[in-house]
Amino acid sequence: MTDKPTRNFRPLSSLFLALALGCSGAPPEQEPNTGEHSSASTGDSSYDERDSRKPQDPEPVTLGSTVYFVAHEESTGTELWRTDGTHEGTRLVRDMGPGPNPNDILELAASSDTVYLTRVDYDGSGIRLWKSDGTTEGTVPLEVPTREFNYDHPALLVPCGDLLFFTNEGPGEKPGIWRSNGTPGGTVSLTTAAGPDWSPYEGVRPACANGTLFFVGKRTTGTLELWKSDGTPGGTVGLGSLGPDSLGWMYRPTLVALGSRVFFNPALDGQPLWTSDGTSAGTHPLGYPVQGMTLTRGPIVVGGALYFTTQDFNTPTQLWTSDGTGAGTRLVTLVPEAHSPPDLMAAGDTLILAAAGGIYQSDGTSEGTTFLFRQMTAQYTQMQPAPTAARRGDQLFFRVWENHPASASLWVSDGTTAGTTPLLTAQGQRIQEPFGITRAGDQVLFWTDDGVHGMEPWVTDGTPAGTHLLRDIRHQNASEPAHLTNVEG
């Protein structure tokens, strides 16, 4: 689940999504500002009546050069949409609940050719799994066993190989990991044998590594465990204990896959990054060459390499890379200005570090870790609330947060300090509140509120003249999808 954005300034406020797409059409005609729409200035996480985004909104996903997202349009309500980056190619996929019914899409996930989603129908039919190939006819409910309504499940959809994995619990059943091949007979629970005191660790998304699903479970005693599954009950096994859940709800483990290995931050106080090759013997903490370091950010996979940061009370942030072995775990560089943990994000094959001291780029070498720009005051802080970045050729796009005034804006960089500047519109305005910046094709698509059209998709080629509204989906009202996720990497 993504963090909720706040609306706290005008005219370019609220949630702002960016992804890059193959091409963009000509900008549609701008509608006059009638004064009927203005950005709210609540200063908190509330939403006004023109917003479609809710706390449970999903992250949109990208298949090739097509992006699938959830948006609200008055005649259809909240439904699945798609865009190829052009005005004509931005359209509703299917009105799954005809008319403006109060239904919600809770989650989106994508395999190589299919989008999966969970949809709540408030007519009493409950939460249903759907799948889509991007066509109206190919957007259908997933055939699963008939189950009584349960609001909390299914969730955490993860396509892996030819199967869809998800968490679920039925009437009188304990929570577990399920899988489906799209048929009623092929939809089964995988973790029944784990015992009555076991359940999936809430909110931790499993990771798929070369067709094997890895996930974290928790015993009623508070002990965390790493598990794997090949999609069969017999092939779903525990790999060992990760220790106690010492930090409770404040932190959650993060699993990422690199090749056939997974890496995870168990969120245990003072513990290092862990790794697993899918065997009990190969599941262990990743030893750092320098002892006494505390894991602060990561893991994240960028350009086929894994990165994370550590820190102690006496040294600046340390940036590391690893292939999962002790010999292959090395210090990239110290980040001297990053006295607080920097946010890590991928811009194509480039790692971006956003710290209070400045914005950095890294290619995984000490020489290739450089400032994009240095902050000499505390005016800028880390990218919040969801760090995102993208690369378009030699251009980097990323978000910068200013404390005075409290706002965030989209920046573009050619990789040099002199060439790193805020991106402006053709009218000379900064583009505010950027989220979910993603590369796909030759453009960058983002969501913003220009004070006229509401929260709608825009595209940019990195120049003011090439930055324009893509389509006004909800006219004078806002359609706000959550952060975009590019599943193509």
Cα–Cα distance, 178 to 57 (Å, whole number): 22
Looking at CATH, the fold of the domain delimited by 18-486 is given as: Methylamine Dehydrogenase; Chain H (2.130.10)
Cα 60 to the chain's mean position, in Å?
8
Per-residue pLDDT of the chain (489 residues; tens, 9 = 90+): 333 333 332 222 222 223 232 333 333 333 333 333 322 222 333 333 444 344 356 777 888 888 898 888 878 888 899 988 888 888 999 998 877 776 788 889 998 889 999 888 766 667 888 999 999 999 998 876 655 444 346 788 999 988 999 988 766 677 899 998 888 788 888 998 898 899 998 768 899 999 999 999 999 888 889 999 999 999 999 998 887 776 554 456 688 999 999 998 865 555 678 899 999 999 988 876 556 677 788 889 998 899 998 887 677 788 999 887 778 888 999 887 666 778 888 888 889 888 777 788 999 999 999 888 765 444 444 444 345 778 888 888 887 776 666 677 888 999 888 898 899 988 888 888 777 677 666 788 887 778 777 778 888 899 999 988 888 887 644 454 444 444 443
Cα-based distances in Å from 93 to 71, 77, 96, 110, 426: 11, 13, 9, 15, 31
Secondary-structure breakdown of the chain: helix, strand, coil percentages, each rounded to the nearest 5: 0, 45, 55
Closest of 165, 215, 176, 178 to residue 198, by C-alpha: 176
Mean pLDDT across the chain: 75
Specify which residues 359 forms β-bridges with.
Answer: 354, 373
DSSP reduced 3-state for 289: coil
List strand residue ranges (DSSP E) for 153-205, in order. Answer: 155-160, 163-168, 176-180, 188-189, 198-200
Q: Of 441, 439, 446, 371, which is closest to residue 408 (Cα–Cα)?
A: 446
Of 388, 457, 375, 483, nearest to 420 by C-alpha is 375
The domain spans of the chain are 18-486
Give yes or no for a contact between 459 and 443, defined as CB atoms under 8 angstroms apart: yes
Q: What is the 3-class SS of 374-406, one letter each residue? A: ECCCCCEECCCCCCCEEEECCEEEEEEEECCCC
Q: State the amino acid at position 323 in one-letter form.
A: D
What does each C-alpha distance from 3 to 13, 91, 192, 264, 267 come to in angstroms?
16, 26, 32, 21, 19
Separation of alpha carbons 154 and 120, rounded Å: 10
* Alpha-carbon distances of 274 from 247, 284, 287, 380, rounded to whole Å: 17, 6, 9, 33
Contact between residue 18 and residue 397 where contact means Cβ atoms under 8 Å apart: yes
Q: pTM for the whole thing?
A: 0.78
Beta pairing, strands 61-63 & 485-486: parallel
